Amino acid sequence: MTDAISIDVWSDIACPWCYIGKRNLEKGLADAASDDDAPVTTVTFHSFELSPDTPVDFEGDEIDFLAGHKGMPRDQVSQMLSNVTGVAANAGLEYRFDLLRHTNTVKAHELLHFAKQAGRQHDMAERLMSAYFTEGRHVGRIDDLVDLATEIGLDGDAVRDALENERHLPDVRADQAQAQAYGINGVPFFVIDGKYGVSGAQPPEAFAQIARQVWAERRSAASAL
């Protein structure tokens, strides 16, 4: 029996390309799963904060944030968001930057680690990204995060206790330290089997190809023993 291919994904809840990359990864792996000798994979999400100095309650919209944070002209930011919205649509996602509520994401990352321990990390990542990019939900405050966690079946009291006591903050910091050790300075970033790095929201075909390639390498190595 060949061990599963590990796919470690560094991303941020507030990164529009990360949600697109997540969806493309899922589509690529689903395509490869139809093979006669389908790759077996495990996907784990890791924390990366793009703007750790962002306040929990940012005053302004996404254009205000990016214009101030990146120093870009507002017209240029608006065009950039329009382009990203188009790419997201091609991935099956309906981005609503007009509703988006920019916030600090460290608590959301803590929640992802809580969900990982409960075996629900994938569900939680999807719920957080959908809430942020398509529903205009707040994903920075504990009360709102508890609500989102209970929506996928997690225990609200346990979530609140973990977030209020920063129980998973060391896990967030460990992920960030590992990203730094790998030299990751932008997300999404995918580490395949601990040896191949894939940067950016690649198309589904690219993820399917690398899964098949690594699986074939695994099979070849196993048959050589």
pLDDT in tens, 117-128: 999 999 999 999
> At a CB cut-off of 8 Å and minimum separation 6, what does 50 contact?
12, 14, 15, 105, 187
- pLDDT of 87 > 90? The answer is yes
- pLDDT of 61 > 70? The answer is yes
Give 3-51 pLDDT, tens digit per residue. 899 999 999 999 999 999 999 999 999 999 999 999 999 999 999 999 9
* Range 183-204 average pLDDT: 96
At 220 the pLDDT is 87
Of 54 and 1, more confident: 54
Give 159-180 pLDDT, tens digit per residue. 999 999 999 999 999 999 999 9
At 224 the pLDDT is 74
* Range 189-198 average pLDDT: 96
**Domain segments of the chain: what residues?**
5-224
Lookup: tokens for 150: 């209970």
At 1 the pLDDT is 59
- Nearest-5° Cα angle at 90, 67 to 207: 100
> At a CB cut-off of 8 Å and minimum separation 6, what does 33 contact?
39
User: Which residue in 7, 10, 20 sits closest to 202, CA to CA?
Assistant: 20
**What residue type is assigned to position 165 of the chain?**
N
Give 209-224 pLDDT, tens digit per residue. 999 999 999 888 877 7
User: Which residue in 73, 99, 74 sits closest to 85, CA to CA?
Assistant: 99
Distance CA 99, CA 80 (A): 16
The fraction of the chain above a pLDDT of 90, given in percent, is 90
* Phi, psi values for residue 45, rounded to 5°: -95, 140
Average pLDDT, the chain: 96
pTM: 0.96
Indicate the pairing of strand 5-11 with strand 41-47. parallel
Half-sphere exposure of 166 (CA within 13 A, CB side): 5
CATH homologous superfamily, domain 5-224: Glutaredoxin (3.40.30.10)
At 221 the pLDDT is 82
